[in-house]
Amino acid sequence: MYRIAQKTGVSNKQAALYRLIGIIGALVISSIFILITKKNPIQVYASMIKGAFGSYYRIRSIIIRAIPLAITSFGISVAFKLKFWNIGGEGQIMMGAFGAALVALNFPDLSKPVLLLFMAVTGFVFGGLYALIPAIFKAKFNTNETLFTLMMNYIAIKWVTYLQYSAWKDPNAVGFPKIADFSKNAWLPDVFGIHAGWVVTLVLAVVMHIFMKHSKKGYEISVVGESVNTARYAGMNVKKIMLEALFISGGLCGLAGMIQASGVGRTLAVTTSANAGFTAIIIAWLSRLSMPVMVIVAFLFAAMVQGGVFIETAYQIPQAVTEIIQGMILFFILGTEFFIRYKIVPVKKEQGGN
C-alpha cells in the first residue's frame, strides 16, 4: 500500500526538469496524430520551431500575439491569488475594448496622447467594473464566482456582437458587418516596429510583480487567499480587499482589450478577445502566478500558435494539430505539478494505512 505525502525542498531546477520531461512526453504522444497524416513528427516539430522563430517578421508576430495573453494573465492571477476563480477574462477584455471604443468613436479628434490615455483608463474601468459585479455578489452572498464570471463572458460577447452587427454597424463598410475603424489618433504608436503594447506588458510585469510581492495591498491579497480566517483575525477587511483585487483583475483584462482594439484591430470586433481570456487562465496557472514567468509562458504559447499556422501551409497539416499539442502539453505539465508537490510513500501493512 502507499500514501501520498507533501514534498518539500524541490529546487527550481528539479521542477524545471520535471516540466521539461512533461513537455517531451506531450510531444511524443502528439506525434501519434502527426503520424496519422503520414508525416515525420520530428520534421514537423522542427519546422514548427523554424516557422515560429525563423524570421524577424515571425518573431514580431509572436510578440503581437503574446501581448494580450500576458496582460490578461496578470489580471487573472490577481484574482487567483485571492482564490477567486475569475474565468471571466474573456468578457472583461470585451468590456474593456468596448469602453475604449466608446471613447475612440466619440472623441476621434482629441490629440493622440490624451485620447490613448482616456481610452486606456476607460478600458481599465469598464473591465474592472465588469469583474466587480460577480465580486460584489461573492462578497455579499458567497455566490459561486466561477460560474458567474463564466456566464458574464457570453453576455459580453453577445453585447459586442449586437454592436458589430446592428447598433454600431458601419454603414460605409461593404460586405462583412464591422464597426467603423478608430481615427488614427486612437491607434497605439509603434515602438521599434511593434505596437507599444509590448512596452506596457513589460512595465506591467515589473509593476504588478512589485505590487503583489512587496506592497501592503498585495500582501493582504495573498493572506486572504491563503486563509480568510487569518485575514479576519488580523483585522483585515476581507470584502473590501476582494472588491479592490477584482477591480484590478478585471481592469487589467480590460486594458488588454483596449490594447487589442487600438493596436491590432483598429476597432472593436467580436474577435477582439480571440480566446485570450481562457488561454490566460492556463498561462497564469502554469506560471504559478508569477508575473515575470507569465511573460515567458505567454511568448511560448504565442510561438506555438505561430508555428501551427506555418505547418498548416508548409505540410497541409490542419492547424487544429496545434490545439492538440497545446492540450497535450497542458495535460502533461498539469500532471507533473503533482510530482513536484507530492511524493508517493510506501506504507507498511501493520500501520493500517489504506
Residues that bind another protein (CB under 8 A): 3-6, 33, 85, 87, 137, 141-144, 146-148, 150-152, 154-155, 158-159, 161-162, 165-166, 278, 281-282, 285, 318-328, 330-331, 334-335, 337-338, 342
Nearer to another protein, 107 or 278 (CB): 278
Taking the C-alpha atoms of residue 122 and residue 118, their distance in angstroms, rounded to an integer, is: 6
Least distance in Å: CB of 142 to another protein? 6
Q: Which whole-number Å values give the CA distances from 214 to 130, 148, 206, 286, in the listed order?
A: 27, 31, 11, 22
- Choice between 64 and 150, CB closer to another protein: 150
Q: What is the nearest approach in angstroms of another protein to the Cβ of residue 201?
A: 22
In the bound state with another protein, the residue whose beta carbon lies nearer, of 17 and 347, is 347
Residue 54, sorted as left (phi over 0), alpha (psi -120 to 50) or beta, turns out to be alpha
Min CB(175)–another protein separation in Å = 20
Q: 281 or 302: whose CB is closer to another protein?
A: 281
Q: How far apart are CA 100 and CA 114, in angstroms?
A: 13
Which lies closer to another protein via its Cβ, residue 152 or residue 223?
Answer: 152
Beta carbon of residue 303, minimum distance to another protein (angstroms, whole number): 16
Nearer to another protein, 183 or 222 (CB): 222
Contacts of 34 (CB under 8 A, 6+ apart): 40, 41, 44, 317, 321
Minimum CB–partner distance for residue 22 and another protein (Å): 12
Cβ closest to another protein, residue 299 vs residue 332: 332
CB of 248 to another protein, least distance (A): 20
Could you write out the three-class secondary structure of 125-188? HHHHHHHHHHHHHHHHHCCCHHHHHHHHHHHHHHHHHHHHHHHCECCCCCCCCCECCCCHHHCC
Phi, psi (rounded to 5 degrees) for 193: 85, -5
Asked whether the beta carbons of 276 and 68 are under 8 A apart, the reply is yes
- By beta-carbon proximity to another protein, the closer residue of 98 and 285 is 285
Place of cell 504588478: 208
**The residue type at 336:** T
Report which DSSP code applies to 22: H
179 bridge partner residues: 169
Closest distance to another protein from the beta carbon of 51 (Å): 17
Taking the complex as a whole, how short is the minimal distance between the CB of residue 64 and another protein, in angstroms?
21
SS3 letters across 60-102? HHHHHHHHHHHHHHHHHHHHHHCCCCCCCHHHHHHHHHHHHHH
The answer to whether residues 335 and 29 touch, using CB atoms and an 8 Å cutoff, is no
Spatial separation of the C-alpha atoms in residues 249 and 76, rounded to whole Å: 6
Choice between 274 and 281, CB closer to another protein: 281
**In the block, which residue shows the cell 454597424?**
169
Judge whether 131 and 149 are in contact, CB under 8 Å: yes
Minimal distance, residue 310 CB to another protein, in Å: 16
Provide the minimum distance between the beta carbon of 110 and another protein in the complex, in angstroms, as a whole number: 30
Nearer to another protein, 22 or 99 (CB): 22
